[in-house]
Structure 1
Amino acid sequence: MPLRTLETWPHGATMLDAEHTRFALWAPDAFSVSVELQEGASVAMLPQADGWFVVELPCLAGTRYRYNIDGKRDVPDPASRAQALDVHGWSLVVDPLAYQWRHEHWQGRPWHQAVIYELHVGALGGYSQVEKHLPRLAELGVTAIELMPLAQFPGERNWGYDGVLPYAPHATYGSGEQLKQLIDRAHELGLAVILDVVYNHFGPDGNYLGQYAKGFFREDVHTPWGAGIDFDRREVRDFFLDNALMWLLEYRFDGLRLDAVHAIDNPQFLKELAHRVRQQVDPARHVWLVLENEFNQANLLEEDFDAQWNDDGHNALHVLLTGETDAYYRDFAEDPTAKLARCLSEGFVYQGHPTRHGHARGERSGHLPPSAFVLFLQNHDQIGNRALGERLHQLCSPEALRAATTLLLMSPMIPLMFMGDEVNASEPFLFFTDHHGELAEAVREGRRNEFSEFAAFQDPERRERIPDPNAESTFHQSTPTFTENPHTELYRQLLRLRQRHIVPHLPGSMALGAQVLGPGAVSARWRLGNGEVLQIDLNLSQATFKHPVGSHLLFASDTDHALLTPFCARVSLTPGDTSSSVGEHS
């Protein structure tokens, strides 16, 4: 990989050779900027056009530095590649070429092979501890791990969505070299590695950009986290575009999942990011780009991005499995079976339909392939955004969960599971942070007030029992125990069937429709790329249905294969079928 230059990588400290480093900071509101080195040297940076300050110095990898603005305040490098301690302290010069890759010829995996396992590095003990889980996951049938955000955040514990230094992997998880070793080992085992990145906001503590680069933000645009980021500015766009390229080129991640891009609300930036990645990554590599997007913008999935997390599918299944209709589940309370059928046949449920707030949401998605949608029964949000962090197996019957898991792992959509799903982990996954003082109190109260919409927590006294995000015990409770059981064997069995009968034929597959059999029961069909028709019959009700199964039964979660019995699922294949629909769906 060639060394970066100022023209191609403008932000931060770039090693020009083993002994020299270029420092560059965009500080349009500063009169003067200097580099402060921990051993005591202070070197003025040279002002350049458009608000840039630059200087080249004899400087080795590992040097601690920071910037001084106008002789008044010291700040970390916003593009720091590593921090010595925390978000407020010294940044470190990093040599991106120091790690010797053992599997540098790894080219990734095609997207249709993805079976994704989302995990939190901190909850599992850091990079070296995550590495110990990789053989187990590969044997289970997982083909990719997805790491929740790693960007340096304040304190030692955090989900990662409060990051303020997006170029710096969080120091308490291990070194950058250990992160590369984790990725290297994953590639050795045939596992792709995806990183969750947050480009829609900065966390509430440790972001100094507004003190010397007010133009980074738009005061006329407000998000849940404060002023919006101004993606119309070239310097701002490059800050995030180059960050994406750093993870993909230097760390050799196999893909990125972009968090909550509806809060970015700038499709042109998103398209530019996708185009820049496709241009600069070796065309022989398989690199995945995945969105989380409340707007359900199907147009972004036509060429630019591989897939989107399908919250609609999760929400419809959750209502059917648990009966919960609080808060955002209200949008799925009316006829959830028809909504699930629409999801299975067209991808999104909301395709311009009005939500509970009366606003139209989404775009038509029926023309997209099933692999454009990532389906899940749980993820960090859907467990952790519960007040008590309960997991799905604690909210529905084992039979219903078995049936829903069958749909998850055998549908042509891309399956995602959250750490612990495969063993029905009993531990919760709670929302945790490590803030202090007034900010800690605000986060604590804000967390509890979030649940005032939920019937179970309308009583203020009950809300007081919601775990304090800043308590260290809240973090420690969120580490799952991995003890194999029959549910694990279900995952193993289904993923073997998926790998053998479905994955090879996913390219070119298309939905043929989904039929509502009755409340809680659907039958969905897809034509695979080899012409075979995949049929999944799912019954999440107490009724029994007579419905024909395909000619070759792959799996049934109940022993009575002739009938679709309560809380069961059947998966079957039929040789080439020219029919285009199996019934009406809403």
Structure 2
Amino acid sequence: MQVNERNIGLNFNLNQDAVVKVWAPLAEKVALQVEGREPILLQKDCYGYFSLITNGISAGERYWFLLDDDKQLPDPTSLAQPDGVHGASMAINLHYDWTDSSWLNPPLNDYLIYELHVGTFSTESDFSGIERHLDHLVDLGITAIELMPLGSFPGNRNWGYDGVFPYAVQHSYGGPKGLQQLVDACHKRGLAVILDVVYNHLGPEGNYLSEYGPYFTDKYHTPWGKAVNFDDQDCDGVREFVIENVLMWFRDFHIDALRLDAVHAIKDFSAVHVLQEIRQQTDRLMELTGRRHYLIAESDLNDPRYITSVAQQGMGMDAQWVDEFHHALRVSAGEARKGYYLDFNGLPDLAKSYRDAYVYTGNYSLERRRKFGKDASTHPAQQFIVFSQNHDQIGNRLLGERSSTLYSYEMQKLLAAAVLFSPYIPMLFMGEEWGETNPFYYFVSHTDKGLIEMVREGRKQEFAAMHAAGEAIDPQAEDTFNASRLNWDLLTDPNHQVLYQFYKKLISLRKSNSVLAANDRSAVKAQVLGSQQVLVLTRGLQNDTGQVICLMNFSEQPQQVSYPTGKTTDLYLMVDSASPQWHGPQASPEIWKQTQGITLQSASFVAYSTSHD
């Protein structure tokens, strides 16, 4: 496999001839059908591929593939679907005059991620709207933005996980050229770009892949039906389809990292797992270009094999999301123990997650009714991404409530600090930095009436499983989408502006403090103080300059805390969420004397350092 250029689909060479290659093992004949012209027959090659080099199509023209003279279908590797998922594909020349030749993707340890949904992030609902707010993200201290999936989906409203054209950037967002321009603008401002991609399933409407070949197999069951065919008969073409997609984002769009959705739902018993092959081909590309790219997994298996190198028989992912940190944190903050929160005991589990990343490392799970997970304590902190909210954890609530409507102002600050002072890579969800109050619902814009009813009914069943009482919001309604849009005007409100400044302060401290920036997992201690609902997180070793002691009071009452044992010097205040500066009730002392205790205000976070810097 060549990694230096796109090898499948319709591409243009230096002579502006179209180089066409399509995998269609179920067809005997394949022709290129350019709108308004006679079909051009492709040559049948080995292993189900058909190919053609022609000057019979130019960039910007619409085309179809004609299978066996009677099936007119869009290109499965289409780069643009301007007329929607049922319409013709558009020929695109991916050449772009990049200005980011000096850009260096920062080390993962320096990532501070901001997840956003293109459609609801701005009033424009497209890439230009994101670009307009990039200076806000830089001012906040963000170092990487994460875009929810961009593959073309039905209509203009979707989370992106119903995409059916993995190569085609959603047209309403700005298409492929709009994405290239956004990435270039991000790199100019020092921001890395992560793209969320979905290789475990495709959406139901506009999914024409099965007309071309056995892209799916009934060997395995997934929540979305048949599994993507990574190890059954004729799977080689499917694997190339996915791996080429990975390489395209890195090579042709200069994406810095991919977040691979629900890798636990990728079923593959091949000798070389498709994730391992993705890792290997990504490494080949990096050797060729000199650019650095990361692979980030979403997995609910608590299996460190996913973040273990291929050389050590792992899957080779650089990092993974840790939902269990979120679950333990939310239960600590008062979330009811039902649904998937049933397995979490609040502060003891949060302390374990600070130490071990995973909460379940072989212990018994009530929800799963079995022992679950494996220890990952030997893996470095930068392999774990933590958060207090994300698209899933908000949008999969009955009313799409953000933390701002579930918790007090003081608790919101505590949640922010719990994430940003952790040893792991922190991630924020768009708008949380100012306490956005608009919900973030699940939304779609399908055209199939039967499918719309299935989605509505499916959401009701999901909420029933979570024991959520009330009427589910209609995901198809345009009002559902509009209600989920960020309200940037809230930044002018004093309370929301102070919260924003508090986030800025925490992020600045995380970057500037040597102990917090180092993210040394071996120098992390976390303990719960009896029944006080207070967690003490210590960052740095005893003899470190500037060891940081974080006190988190999750209770509804002030708590008295004694001077830490083993300390022989005064401690100096770094940040106090209860300070009037942050609209809190009362500040802690600037210097914590050895002979004194301090009073932690309810729902508050205080950090002290052994250094006076």
Determine the structure 1 residue equivalent to 2:574.
554
Bigger shift: 281-290 or 27-36? 281-290
Determine the structure 2 residue equivalent to 1:573.
609
Determine the structure 2 residue equivalent to 1:262.
264
Q: Give distance in 1, aligned partners of 2:380 and 2:127.
A: 35
Does 2:472 correspond to 1:481?
no
1:21-100 → structure 2 map (5 Å cutoff): 21-58=18-55, 59-97=57-95, 99-100=96-97
Bigger shift: 467-476 or 267-276? 267-276
Q: Give distance in 1, aligned partners of 2:61 and 2:516.
A: 49
One-letter amino acid of the structure 2 residue matched with residue 94 of structure 1: I
Q: Give distance in 2, aligned partners of 1:166 and 1:560.
A: 52
Determine the structure 2 residue equivalent to 1:231.
230
Determine the structure 2 residue equivalent to 1:541.
555
Q: Give distance in 2, aligned partners of 1:281 and 1:179.
A: 21
Equivalent of 1:119, from 95, 116, 119?
116
Q: Give distance in 2, aligned partners of 1:560 and 1:309.
A: 34
Does 2:444 correspond to 1:433?
yes
One-letter amino acid of the structure 2 residue matched with residue 354 of structure 1: Y
One-letter amino acid of the structure 1 residue matched with residue 599 of structure 2: L
Bigger shift: 235-244 or 339-348? 235-244
Is the 1:221–1:227 contact (alpha carbons within 8 Å) kept by the matching residues of 2? yes
Q: Give distance in 2, aligned partners of 1:554 and 1:312.
A: 28
**3-state SS in 2 of match to 1:322:** coil
Determine the structure 1 residue equivalent to 2:494.
none
Is the 1:508–1:529 contact (alpha carbons within 8 Å) kept by the matching residues of 2? no
One-letter amino acid of the structure 2 residue matched with residue 29 of structure 1: L
**3-state SS in 1 of match to 2:154:** coil
Number of residues of Structure 1 aligned to a counterpart in Structure 2: 562
Determine the structure 2 residue equivalent to 1:155.
155
Bigger shift: 122-131 or 524-533? 524-533
Determine the structure 2 residue equivalent to 1:527.
540
Q: Which runs of 5+ in 2 are unaligned?
A: 310-315, 492-496, 579-586, 590-597
Equivalent of 2:285, from 258, 269, 280?
280
Determine the structure 1 residue equivalent to 2:476.
470
Q: Spell out, residue by residue over 1:35-87, the C-alpha distance to the aligned partner (whole angstroms, 9 max, x if none).
A: 11112220111111111111111132112111111122111111111113111
C-alpha deviation, 1:326, in angstroms:
2.2
Determine the structure 1 residue equivalent to 2:144.
144
One-letter amino acid of the structure 1 residue matched with residue 70 of structure 2: K
**Given the superposition, is the C-alpha separation of residues 39 and 531 from structure 1 closer, same or farther in structure 2, using an over 3 Å criterion?**
farther
**Given the superposition, is the C-alpha separation of residues 541 and 7 from structure 1 closer, same or farther in structure 2, using an over 3 Å criterion?**
closer
**3-state SS in 2 of match to 1:40:** coil
Does 2:464 correspond to 1:452?
yes
C-alpha deviation, 1:239, in angstroms:
0.9
**Given the superposition, is the C-alpha separation of residues 376 and 50 from structure 1 closer, same or farther in structure 2, using an over 3 Å criterion?**
same
Q: Give distance in 2, aligned partners of 1:42 and 1:272.
A: 36
Q: Give distance in 1, aligned partners of 2:186 and 2:101.
A: 12
Is the 2:525–2:538 contact (alpha carbons within 8 Å) kept by the matching residues of 1? yes
Bigger shift: 429-438 or 501-510? 501-510
Bigger shift: 564-573 or 320-329? 564-573
Does 2:314 correspond to 1:302?
no
Equivalent of 1:354, from 355, 364, 375?
364
Does 2:343 correspond to 1:331?
yes
Equivalent of 1:19, from 8, 16, 19?
16
Q: Give distance in 1, aligned partners of 2:81 and 2:422.
A: 43
Q: Give distance in 2, aligned partners of 1:468 and 1:114.
A: 36
One-letter amino acid of the structure 2 residue matched with residue 222 of structure 1: H
Q: Give distance in 2, aligned partners of 1:494 and 1:503.
A: 14
1:279-428 → structure 2 map (5 Å cutoff): 279-282=284-287, 284-303=290-309, 304-332=316-344, 335-355=345-365, 356-428=367-439
Is the 2:113–2:145 contact (alpha carbons within 8 Å) kept by the matching residues of 1? yes
Is the 1:509–1:529 contact (alpha carbons within 8 Å) kept by the matching residues of 2? no
Is the 1:64–1:84 contact (alpha carbons within 8 Å) kept by the matching residues of 2? no
Q: Give distance in 2, aligned partners of 1:377 and 1:239.
A: 35
One-letter amino acid of the structure 2 residue matched with residue 403 of structure 1: L
Q: Spell out, residue by residue over 1:234-288, the C-alpha distance to the aligned partner (whole angstroms, 9 max, x if none).
A: 2211111111111111101111111111111448221221222122125743322
Does 2:242 correspond to 1:245?
no
Bigger shift: 99-108 or 21-30? 99-108
Is the 1:18–1:61 contact (alpha carbons within 8 Å) kept by the matching residues of 2? no
Does 2:577 correspond to 1:564?
no
Q: Which runs of 5+ in 1 are unaligned?
A: 576-586
Is the 2:150–2:160 contact (alpha carbons within 8 Å) kept by the matching residues of 1? yes
Determine the structure 2 residue equivalent to 1:104.
101
Q: Give distance in 2, aligned partners of 1:257 and 1:130.
A: 19
Q: Give distance in 1, aligned partners of 2:515 and 2:259.
A: 22
**Given the superposition, is the C-alpha separation of residues 15 and 293 from structure 1 closer, same or farther in structure 2, using an over 3 Å criterion?**
same
Q: Give distance in 2, aligned partners of 1:112 and 1:325.
A: 33
**3-state SS in 1 of match to 2:451:** helix
Q: How big is the alpha-carbon RMSD for the aligned residues of Structure 1 and Structure 2?
A: 2.2
Q: Give distance in 2, aligned partners of 1:258 and 1:89.
A: 27
**Given the superposition, is the C-alpha separation of residues 499 and 221 from structure 1 closer, same or farther in structure 2, using an over 3 Å criterion?**
same
C-alpha deviation, 1:471, in angstroms:
0.6
Determine the structure 1 residue equivalent to 2:595.
none
Bigger shift: 479-488 or 278-287? 278-287
C-alpha deviation, 1:509, in angstroms:
4.7
C-alpha deviation, 1:6, in angstroms:
10
Q: Give distance in 2, aligned partners of 1:571 and 1:6.
A: 48
One-letter amino acid of the structure 2 residue matched with residue 139 of structure 1: D
**3-state SS in 2 of match to 1:524:** strand
Is the 1:307–1:372 contact (alpha carbons within 8 Å) kept by the matching residues of 2? yes
Bigger shift: 378-387 or 233-242? 233-242
Q: Give distance in 2, aligned partners of 1:139 and 1:528.
A: 31
Bigger shift: 265-274 or 368-377? 265-274
**Given the superposition, is the C-alpha separation of residues 223 and 529 from structure 1 closer, same or farther in structure 2, using an over 3 Å criterion?**
farther
Q: Give distance in 2, aligned partners of 1:7 and 1:481.
A: 42
**Given the superposition, is the C-alpha separation of residues 43 and 503 from structure 1 closer, same or farther in structure 2, using an over 3 Å criterion?**
farther
**3-state SS in 1 of match to 2:168:** strand
Is the 1:345–1:511 contact (alpha carbons within 8 Å) kept by the matching residues of 2? no
Q: Give distance in 1, aligned partners of 2:467 and 2:304.
A: 34
C-alpha deviation, 1:531, in angstroms:
4.0
Q: What is the identity percentage for the equivalent residue pairs of Structure 1 and Structure 2?
A: 37
Bigger shift: 422-431 or 361-370? 361-370
